[in-house]
Amino acid sequence: MPEQVFGSNYVVLETLGEGSFGVVYLCQDRRLDRRVALKVLKPERADADELRRFLAEARRLASLNHANVVQVYDVDEAVPYMVMEYFKGRTLREIPKTPPLPLEKSLRIMIQVARGLKAVHDVQVVHRDLSTNNIMVDDDDRAKVFDLGLARDLERISITDTDVIKGTPKYMAPEVIDGHKATFASDIFSFGVILYELVTGRHPFEAEHHMSTLYNIVDKPHPPVSQLVPGAPPVLASLIDHCLVKDPQQRLTDLTLIAKRLQSVLDLPNLPSISETMSASPIAPHSAVRPKNPYLNRVMLKRASDFYGRKQEIKRIYSRLNATPPGSVSVVGDRKIGKSSLLNYVYMKRNREQYLEDHESTIMVYVDLQQQKDMALETFVNTVLGIANLELRGRLDVSACARDLSGVREMVERLHGSGVRLVLLMDEFEAITANPNFDLEFFSFLRYLANHYDVAYLTSSARDLQQLCHTKEIRDSPFFNIFTPLPLSVFRLEEARELIRVPSAVWGQPLEAYEHQILDIAGLFPFFLQVACSHSLEYIEEDSKRELGFEEVRRRFYEEARLHYRFMWSTFDEHERSTIRRVAEGRRIPDSLQHVCEELQRKHYVESQGGVMRLFSSCFKGFVDTEVSARQRRPWLTRLFNPGGES
């Protein structure tokens, strides 16, 4: 195979990586007998103006020789490509963050980054793409900034493109997300995000969805460092705050001062004890680190590859959204049944492209209402318009719409005029229906939009929406008539088997042989199946040579599941508890409780096998037996005045 050569001197040895804007090769420089990194700009991703800027900045960078900047050796206009110093190391993103990096190491790295970025700014170049992907660190903790001066025109970036989101946008400054030109101050904001991540272990504006993250960058304050890491030095926390100021005019931009302040923290005589205190703080693991055990997730599933089951429900939702006009769906189910994961799966771009008949003419706005019980109407409107503006980037600018319901209507009218449908996803919608800040007029407005435009709503809630309204007037309003209810319950048996078999087989330790035991302790509830499979794999991982001791797995499962059983028990009324106790003890269900038993069967807490009633799980039966025994041991006065209370 003939060798690939650039400019007669640079022989390609291997491909180091490929991104949206270029390909990076490891090359041998035949003239100077050294290895170099050569980045070829993809011509289809740059217009003439961007190419001129790329070449101009490359020439300026070629004059820069700094210990903390990957040096540019050569540039070619015809191809075009840039030849750079080959620096062997790992990107900051590739360095494991679990456990978190020691504070001293993080400070030394970021001091070097500040100095390198200062040198770049001194030659009048804005990095535009500073992120953990563009900081290289070698085994001696020497850090270099690279991927400099590349054109990053936000209008040309698909914000919904997963690969792009993982790299650039979550480090973008708010003014850049809003469509303004990147400046030196924008690089400082990106620097502050990276520093915040290293100190706290999490992104300062993290959210369940990338659009929500971008909205948070623009409109939400970051949690104080001291709140997440109480032992962090105040001077460090203050420095991060100054780097993350929303207004670029007010942001700290003196990189020399930033480096000095970081050095002052590094020089603190009690830094070792501070670092030890911070290490003991409950820092969240870095989002880029994925645990080996595929069943460890206890929250909303964020990756399509982690999602199993619910094929019928997905088909029903998309069939409603594909209707003309699109129909609204209300997903209703108990806690931990997978409502948020289902909404997120429907929202994922790849699934929209697969299931929506005209995905290019449909935008989805996902509003996460968890922990938003006191949300103001203004906040809701700002969130919807802000996320919609990001979703529409490069297609339709709705940033000038008034920040009230009239502005939402204006946006919808403009979408309608452009032939674009709007699907508004609202997770835990009871945070709105039960919130007195949202009156009847608000719900009438939502109904009006759905009736007159191509607008649909996909909501999730723990109970039927009309049971969760803060006034009778709202509960009796026709707003709720626009929804098709979609009850979300336990997995079907084939879905449960798939969840047990597939991830464990991919992981390398199939659990199919233990399927019966797992179903016995977990039932068909997806959350409890996750817990049971997780403990099964952990037991095997401890000693791969031993057989799976299921009594030990059962004990570990019960220890974790018991807290959730207690919550479930607290949600049952006395009639439901009485019925569950009778089933657990094998007693007959009286006629007066038959309707209760039927409702518990509908929710799959109680099952009928061969005409015999049983609880959904042997471990849940053990929990109920314990509750019955504990209740019988309580003093008779306690049982009299608190007959349904927990022990």
How many other C-beta atoms lie within 10 A of the C-beta of residue 32?
A: 9
Marked catalytic residue, from 29, 129, 187, 454: 129
Please, which residues have CB within 8 angstroms of residue 404's CB and are 6 or more apart in sequence? 378, 381
| 132 vs 198: CA distance, rounded Å | 10
| 534 vs 293: CA distance, rounded Å | 7
Question: Which one-letter amino acid corresponds to residue 213?
Answer: T
Whether 129 is catalytic is yes
Please, which residues have CB within 8 angstroms of residue 416's CB and are 6 or more apart in sequence? 453, 454
DSSP 191-205: HHHHHHHHHHSS-TT
- Give, to the nearest 10 degrees, the angle between helix 405-417 and helix 377-391: 20
Rg (CA), the chain: 29
Separation in Å, CA 433 to CA 63, 321, 336, 450, 456: 61, 22, 21, 17, 17
Per DSSP, helices labelled H in 586-633 are 594-602, 618-633
Angle (CA) 105-108-111 rounded to 5° is 145
Q: Are 364 and 352 in contact (CB under 8 A)?
A: yes
| 361 vs 298: CA distance, rounded Å | 34
Q: Which residue do the tokens 């030990």 mark?
A: 552
- Segment holding 563, helix H or strand E: helix 550-571
| 217 vs 647: CA distance, rounded Å | 46
- Give, to the nearest 10 degrees, the angle between helix 493-507 and helix 526-542: 30
| 605 vs 517: CA distance, rounded Å | 18
Pairing of strands 328-332, 135-137: unpaired
Please, which residues have CB within 8 angstroms of residue 460's CB and are 6 or more apart in sequence? 330, 331, 332, 333, 339, 340, 342, 343, 426, 427, 428, 429
- Give, to the nearest 10 degrees, the angle between helix 377-391 and helix 210-219: 120
| 445 vs 406: CA distance, rounded Å | 10
| 83 vs 57: CA distance, rounded Å | 13
Task: Give the closest residue to 627 by CA, choosing from 557, 580, 571.
Answer: 580
How many other C-beta atoms lie within 10 A of the C-beta of residue 63?
A: 8
Phi, psi at 427, each rounded to 5°: -80, 130
Separation in Å, CA 184 to CA 64, 104, 119, 339, 347: 17, 26, 12, 43, 35
Q: Are 179 and 154 in contact (CB under 8 A)?
A: yes
Q: What is the DSSP letter of 22?
A: E
Kindly list the catalytic residues.
129
